[in-house]
């Protein structure tokens, strides 16, 4: 029963810690949110190691060698945690780190108090009467509404710094601990002001985990590196996620699939049937790996932007144009390989077979070349515009929901963006499907064919 209670405490601490870290990062500072989350994780890992140590010393299996190994690993982990805790206390707000470390103990205390309350006679009397229960809920809601402006005002550090920021923006050095370095402060203030102006000049998307880290550690070189290449980081993260899921699904393959293997096989089979249905059984199976991977990669990237502190890489034109360039080069390579140089040029000329065709060939060549060059532009801009538009739509409705309840002083708003999350799921899937279908059609138009397979279909009954 004790171990089960610890498991429940860990789960509750993770939920409470995530919520508290989000509130601290938004309403206090990103460094406080990070410190709260790391402090809670520090405490949870420490409790887990302590649990392993106790089980190793008092468990039923008391083999001396095994007990020593487990106890040694637990003690080594605790020593490593002490070093990590010292680093956190030195580089993050120490009070917030300690608050996060005490969070599991607070959860355990509240669980004990809740068990005492739920088993008390007073609680049974309140919950047994609907009027008393409604009055209690109304009183708690009114108390939270009345005290929310006090907590919001106390947690907002920007109001106290507003005059200093205004003076820095006007070119006047701020009075305080930087007064002795007036020239340096003015110079750096101008640089940061220009940077802030450049960052706020365009539309702002939801903050991702790299953005939070860049605000918490603005001078760290590794954070600047991640921020500069954040689109590539999230793209590689999505690719790694797909590889891990594929490896887990195929690790213990069974004749009668179940669970993850069943889902992955259903998805792969559906993509195979869809692509073969367009390209035909002759060429379709050869291109299923490329086109299927293309769909899965774009699909997961589109939907990853709906996860908190993640970002959809396809909302960047660099990623969508890179994908379109890959499709363009692959299609041209397939054309050159399948048709040969002469057949490829014949395709660009419009396959002239009579006098009229040869007379129109000088006109068809630039039209076909421009058409091939326009394909990657249309692919990339369509995908980028739709995914970026989804992000801006969600940002707009989140802002509208916050503005709607701004008069109340509550630290949250109406979830007006919630219905549009389902729309984003639909459009993200459709955009991945459109990109894949157009790539499949481009391959179909470049493959060697006899009047798009009509002659093959005409001869098929004879066989």
User: How far apart are the C-alpha atoms of 210 and 216, rounded to whole Å?
Assistant: 10
What angle is formed at CA 213 by the lines to CA 174 and CA 239, rounded to 5 degrees?
155
Quote the pLDDT of residue 180: 41
Whole-model pTM: value is 0.61
Q: What are phi and psi of 262, to 5 degrees?
A: -65, -45
User: How far apart are the C-alpha atoms of 126 and 133, rounded to whole Å?
Assistant: 6
Q: What is the mean pLDDT of each run of 10 residues along the chain (463 residues)?
A: 67 82 77 84 81 70 65 78 80 84 83 77 76 76 61 45 40 40 41 43 74 85 87 93 91 81 91 93 92 95 90 93 94 89 84 81 85 91 92 88 77 81 92 95 82 43 41
Q: Are 103 and 47 in contact (CB under 8 A)?
A: no
Q: Which residue has the tokens 């938004």?
A: 26
Residue 449 three-state SS: coil
């Amino acid at each position: 029963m004790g171990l089960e209670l610890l498991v429940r405490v860990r789960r509750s601490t993770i939920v409470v810690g995530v919520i508290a870290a989000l509130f601290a990062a938004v309403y206090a500072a990103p460094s406080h949110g990070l410190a709260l989350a790391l402090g809670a994780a520090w405490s949870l890992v420490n409790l887990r190691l302590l649990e392993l140590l106790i089980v190793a010393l008092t468990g039923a299996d008391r083999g001396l060698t095994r007990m020593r190994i487990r106890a040694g690993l637990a003690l080594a982990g605790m020593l490593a945690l002490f070093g990590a805790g010292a680093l956190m206390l030195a580089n993050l707000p120490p009070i917030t780190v300690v608050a996060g470390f005490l969070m599991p103990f607070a959860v355990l205390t509240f669980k004990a108090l809740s068990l005492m309350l739920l088993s008390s006679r007073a609680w049974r009397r309140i919950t047994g009467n609907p009027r008393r229960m409604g009055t209690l809920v109304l009183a708690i809601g009114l108390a939270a509404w009345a005290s929310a402006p006090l907590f919001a005002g106390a947690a907002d550090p920007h109001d106290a710094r507003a005059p200093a920021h205004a003076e820095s923006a006007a070119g006047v050095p701020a009075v305080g601990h930087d007064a002795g370095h007036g020239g340096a402060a003015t110079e750096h203030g101008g640089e940061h002001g220009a940077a802030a102006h450049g960052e706020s000049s365009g539309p702002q998307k939801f903050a991702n985990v790299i953005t939070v880290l860049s605000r918490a550690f603005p001078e760290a070189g590794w954070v600047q590196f991640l921020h500069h290449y954040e689109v590539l980081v999230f793209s590689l993260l999505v690719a790694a996620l797909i590889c891990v899921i594929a490896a887990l699904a195929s690790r213990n393959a069974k004749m009668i699939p179940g669970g993850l293997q069943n889902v992955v096989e259903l998805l792969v089979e559906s993509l195979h049937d869809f692509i073969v249905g367009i390209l035909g059984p002759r060429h379709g199976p050869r291109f299923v790996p490329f086109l299927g991977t293309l769909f899965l990669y774009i699909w997961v990237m589109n939907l990853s932007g709906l996860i908190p502190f993640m970002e959809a890489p396809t909302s960047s034109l660099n990623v969508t144009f890179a994908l379109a360039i890959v499709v363009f080069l692959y299609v041209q390579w397939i054309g050159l390989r399948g048709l040969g140089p002469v057949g490829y040029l014949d395709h660009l000329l419009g396959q002239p077979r009579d006098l009229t065709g040869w007379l129109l060939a000088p006109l068809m060549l630039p039209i076909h070349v421009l058409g091939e060059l326009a394909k990657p532009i249309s692919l990339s801009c369509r995908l980028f515009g739709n995914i970026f538009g989804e992000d801006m739509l969600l940002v707009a409705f989140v802002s509208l929901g916050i503005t709607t309840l701004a008069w109340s002083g509550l630290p949250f708003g109406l979830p007006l963006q919630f219905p549009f999350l389902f729309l984003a799921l639909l459009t993200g899937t459709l955009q991945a499907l459109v990109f894949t279908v157009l790539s499949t059609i481009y391959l179909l138009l470049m493959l060697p064919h006899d009047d798009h397979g009509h002659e093959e279909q005409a001869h098929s009954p004879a066989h």
